[in-house]
């Protein structure tokens, strides 16, 4: 595939055009990345509605029945197209932490960690929701908090 980049300082509205025979899954990923870059957010789907969710408004990204969902600070739930590992790769620098094989939390929203009598560990976020934490990821949270947390 030929790639052309035209740099023109007079260009008033920056944009990207693709001339392709079909939109492959790889191309879709590139499009998603560009869209995310532009909006500093991800696209969330609620039925037929599509919304741009700003990254710092995301509380938890989790997998349920093989689908990926995003829960916002206001406890709204959206389906998203990114896979869990893709989201982790894209936004780990924004303070997002993997806490189990099925969820990623916004590290900047950690309120406290809790453990019940059976030894099950969870994290409470500032919006009041709790999320299960697997034992091996406790160290990850410790490192995040130890390094001043709130990476920006």
Partner 1 sequence: MSALKKILLRSLLGFPLGVAIGATIQLVIVVLMRGKPFDESYSKLNYYISAYLATGFLGAAGAGLSVVYEIEKWSILKKLAVHASLLLIILLSIALLIGWLEISIIQIAVFIGIFVAIYVIIFIAMWMYYKKQIDVINKEI
Q: Which residues bind partner 1 (CB under 8 A)?
A: 100-101, 110-121, 132, 134-135, 138-139, 141-142, 145-146, 149
- Cα separation, 92 vs 46, in Å, equals 25
Q: What distance in Å separates the CA atoms of residue 89 and residue 135, rounded to the nearest whole number?
A: 21
Name the minimum Å distance from CB 50 to partner 1.
32
User: What is the rounded CA–CA span in Å between residue 75 and residue 83?
Assistant: 20
Is the CB of 24 or the CB of 126 nearer to partner 1? 126
Give the pair of three-digit tokens for residue 44.
């969330």
Tell me if residue 57 falls in helix, strand or coil. helix
C-beta closer to partner 1: residue 52 or 84: 84
Helix ranges (H only) for the chain are 25-39, 84-91, 138-146
Query: Which CB sits closer to partner 1, 58 or 133?
Result: 133
Of 45 and 132, nearer to partner 1 (C-beta) is: 132
CB of 79 to partner 1, least distance (A): 22
In whole angstroms, how close is the CB of 41 to partner 1 at the nearest point?
26
In the complex, what is the shortest distance from the CB of residue 90 to partner 1, in angstroms, rounded to a whole number? 23
DSSP 16: -
Q: Which is nearer to partner 1, 42 or 60 (CB)?
A: 60
- Calpha distance 45→124 (Å, rounded): 25
CB of 62 to partner 1, least distance (A): 13
């Amino acid at each position: 595939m030929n790639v052309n980049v035209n740099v023109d300082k007079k260009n008033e509205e920056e944009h990207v055009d693709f001339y392709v025979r079909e939109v492959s899954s790889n191309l879709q990923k590139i499009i998603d990345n560009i869209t995310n870059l532009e909006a500093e957010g991800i696209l969330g789907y609620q039925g037929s509605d599509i919304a741009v969710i700003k990254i710092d408004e995301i509380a938890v990204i989790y997998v349920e029945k093989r689908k990926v969902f995003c829960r916002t600070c206001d406890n709204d739930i959206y389906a998203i197209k990114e896979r869990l590992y893709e989201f982790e790769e894209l936004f780990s620098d924004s303070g997002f932490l993997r806490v189990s094989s099925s969820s990623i939390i916004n590290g900047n929203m950690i309120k406290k960690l809790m453990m019940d009598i059976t030894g099950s560990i969870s994290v409470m976020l500032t919006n009041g929701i709790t999320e299960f934490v697997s034992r091996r990821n406790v160290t990850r949270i410790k490192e995040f908090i130890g390094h001043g947390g709130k990476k920006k």
